[in-house]
Each structure stands twice: as structure tokens, then as C-alpha cells.
Amino acid sequence: MSITFNSLALGDLIQRALRERQYTTPSPIQEQTIPYVLEGHDVMGCAQTGTGKTAAFALPILEHLSQNPKRRTPKSPRVLVIAPTRELAIQIEESFAAYGTHIRFQSEVIFGGVGQNPQVRALQKGPEVLVATPGRLLDLIGQGHINLRQLEVFVIDEADRMLDMGFIHDVRKIIAELPTKRQSLFFSATMPDSIIELASTILTQPKHVEVTPPATTVEKIDQRVCHVAKSDKQGLLTHFLENHDEGLTLVFAGMKHAANRIAENLSKKGIPAAAIHGNKSQTARVRALEDFRSGKIRVLVATDIAARGIDVKGIDLVVNFDLPNEPDSYVHRIGRTARAGAEGRAISFCDELSQGLLRQIEKNIRMSVPVDDSHPFHREPQAGDKDESLQKQSRRERGSNPRRGNRNGRNRNGNREKTSSGNRGGQSANTSQNRNRRRRRQQSGKT
């Protein structure tokens, strides 16, 4: 017999909000996490996006605020949630507002890339719940606009993405500002050693929750791979979208400029599309997401970092225009079309430089992705494709040739090279040898 929200000790006001949204049965992470949070435990949760993770911490936190009302204090939130991207931060705050619609509380979201004055004014009103990205949070703490001494609950979401984006040092600075007595909730899609070490500095005797192994998501998705020449990938994408005119499509590109180019080419073909990545302004990113959710555009082209945290229902198709360099990213990508138990479709383009990446992905998911050769751009893989792909990936991992200096005369570690294209070190050695030869000839002449 499946458990319902009614059995999770959530108050009537929250239950009412859940009923209004026709939520009756908690997801596995909600079922496991909510009781722990209500009991006041620290929690370490391993869960991917799309598992209901936000509600898992938002619902019990709102119940705590409802049962323990306090007078608002300017600049001093009772709950702090930090997230790696603006999009995810916005979605988390919207979830608090939705689930707490019948509770007397205030929430606010702050992030960089926009003017801070409206955010400062909002903080003066004393919101109980503050959702923030690390950089803007530290800026406002440093300016005295935020005081965390009265904080009761601290949440860090998508900790592994924080690490990927270089935010871990900022996170450690934030932790240093927190009061010792607090409840801490820590969530990450993966648990590498560096993340476990970070969690150990935040949590006290945590309860561990782990749900949705990657294979569970992969098995629900109709996956296909299309072998295609790199120069034909845009034509193949247009072909698929023209023959797949229902539902929303999320396209993954490897680079920001590629995302822009793909979206522009689709728009020229009469297929409404927009790109979203880190170089886009906040206004442009929010508008693109709103247009995608509403169906005004049916294709969103994104990079991995920009797409992390995008929670849009009804994504029918995911297209890997460029295969990811990391096999785990493949699982995260295609999982966006199989939310809440729904089935989905995923198509990957594999060009002459990507055969090695495909083999790595198939090894990671422990299955061969079926080949779709029914399209007009099919290209049979060549014998040298795999080696070429691996060589290209190896060059990316190594970066620049360590034997060559860059334009600033520095090596990969930032240290100035002892030798350059002019072989100064060799010239110095040759000069010393010549001096020694002249000295020996002079001494020989004297004798």
C-alpha cells in the first residue's frame, strides 16, 4: 500500500496546498526525507533533479515555520537555501511560495547578474526564507545587508554542481557565517569524495537518503543514436523537429556559441527556438524559460550548466546535438524527459569525432543504444572514428602542450617558462660553454 501525504504529519494548511495541486502521493525521496526533517535531523540526500527533491525539504521547512511563528527581523532569514544557478534558485523560491500559499510567511530569492537594490529592499522586510546563489549572497553579507546569526535551517542543493562551477570556496565562506546551532540539509546528484568531505563539515550525525539510481531513469526512456557527419547535424535536427511537431524539445549543445547558432538556424527554418547559457542576460534567460514552459517556443537549446535545475514538465524529446564529455552527464540530460515516472524519448547525434564518447556512455549505462538509420543523413561509422574522438578528448583534458609556453610566457600552472620559442635556456647554456672554451684557449696560449 502506497503512502500518502496525509500520513507524513504535515499540517492542514500545507495539505490544502498539496490537494489544490493534486499532489497525493509523495515521491521516494519525499517519503524518506520529510519525516527526518520534521524530527529535526540533519539530512544527506543523494538524488537527481526531477525526483521531487525540492518539495522534500520545502514542505517540512514550511511546516516548521507554520508551527513556530516568530516576528520578522530585517536582514535576518530563518531559512537559507543556496543553489548553483539563478534558474534553480528561482524555481526553489517559487516552490516555497506555492506550497506555503496558505501560511503567513515571506520568501525572497537573490542572485547575481541584476541590480542589487531591489533585493536589498526586499531583505529589509525580513523574509523568513531566503534562496540565493553563492556569489550574490556573499556580496550582500559583506555589505551588511544579510545577517545569518538567527538562522535555523540551512539547505545546500545540487552540491556537486557547486563543485563543477567552482563555488566550493564560496560555500565554505558561507558556512563560516552560519550559527553552530542549526539544522542542515545537504543534497547532491552524485557523491564524489570531495562532496562527502564538504558534507562532513556541514552536517552533524545526518540521516542518509539515496534514491533513483541512474539505471532506473535510463530504462524508462526510448533512446536512439543517429550516426551523422558533423556538417549534417543541423540538417538532421531540423529534419527531426519538422517530423516531430508535438510537445517540447530540449536540445543540448556542447558550447555556448553552438547553442546560439543552433537556435538561430532553427528560427530561420520557422521552428520557434531559443538558447539558454551562462552568457545570456538574466532577463533573456527568464524570458526563454517562460516562453518554453508556455509553449510559445517549443525548442530550448541549452548547455549542461545552464540546463541544470530547469524543471519543465512535458518535455517529450531530448536531443543530444553534441554528446557530453562526461558519461554521467548523459544520464542527467536524458532524464529530463522521464519525470515523475513518465516515459520519454532521447536522440543522440554521433559524428565522426564522437564515436569514442558514445562507447564510454554505453559502458556507463551498461547497454548499447539502438541505432536509428531511417533518416536521410545516416553515415556509417568509419574504422578511425573512435581513435580520432579519443585523441580529441585527450587533447581537451591535457589542455595546451606543456612543452610550449603561452603568449604570456607562462606554463599551464601559471609559472613563467624557463625556456621559450627562442630557447633562451639553450642560448644561456651555449653562451656559458663558449666562455669556457675561450678561457681554456687563453690559458693554453699563456703556457
Q: Identify whether 435 is part of a domain.
A: no
User: Based on the domain organization, do 189 and 286 belong to the same domain?
Assistant: no
User: pLDDT, tens digit, for every residue of 145-168?
Assistant: 999 999 999 999 989 888 877 888
User: Based on the domain organization, do 42 and 57 belong to the same domain?
Assistant: yes
- Angle, CA 250 vertex, CA 391 and CA 48 arms, to 5°: 80
User: Based on the domain organization, do 352 and 316 belong to the same domain?
Assistant: yes
User: Based on the domain organization, do 92 and 229 belong to the same domain?
Assistant: no
The tally of domains found in the chain comes to 2
Residue 75 belongs to domain spanning:
5-212
pLDDT score recorded for residue 428? 42
Q: Which residues are CB-neighbours of 421 under 8 A, at least 6 positions away?
A: 404, 405
**Top-confidence residue, 197 or 447:** 197
Nearest to 307 by CA among 297, 296, 324: 324
pLDDT score recorded for residue 148? 97
**Top-confidence residue, 65 or 387:** 65
User: pLDDT, tens digit, for every residue of 255-309?
Assistant: 989 999 999 999 999 999 999 987 777 678 878 988 998 889 999 999 877 676 5
User: Based on the domain organization, do 129 and 247 belong to the same domain?
Assistant: no
State the angle between helix axes of 355-365 and 327-334 in degrees (0 to 180), rounded to the nearest 10: 70
Burial class (CB in 10 A: 0-12, 13-18, 19+), 226: buried
User: pLDDT, tens digit, for every residue of 66-92?
Assistant: 999 999 999 999 999 999 888 889 989
Beginning with the edge strand found earlier in the chain, give each strand of the sheet holding 273-276 in spatial order: 221-227, 344-350, 315-320, 248-252, 299-302, 273-276
Q: Identify whether 63 is part of a domain.
A: yes
pLDDT score recorded for residue 416? 36
pLDDT score recorded for residue 144? 97
pLDDT score recorded for residue 165? 77
Give the strand pairing for 315-320 and 344-350. Answer: parallel
pLDDT at position 235 over 50: yes
CATH number of the domain encompassing residue 237: 3.40.50.300
Nearest to 377 by CA among 241, 224, 234, 228: 228
pLDDT score recorded for residue 2? 67
Query: What average pLDDT does range 311-317 have in this prediction?
Result: 81
% the chain with pLDDT above 70: 80
Domain C-terminal end among 212, 238, 266: 212
pLDDT score recorded for residue 414? 38
Q: Identify whether 417 is part of a domain.
A: no
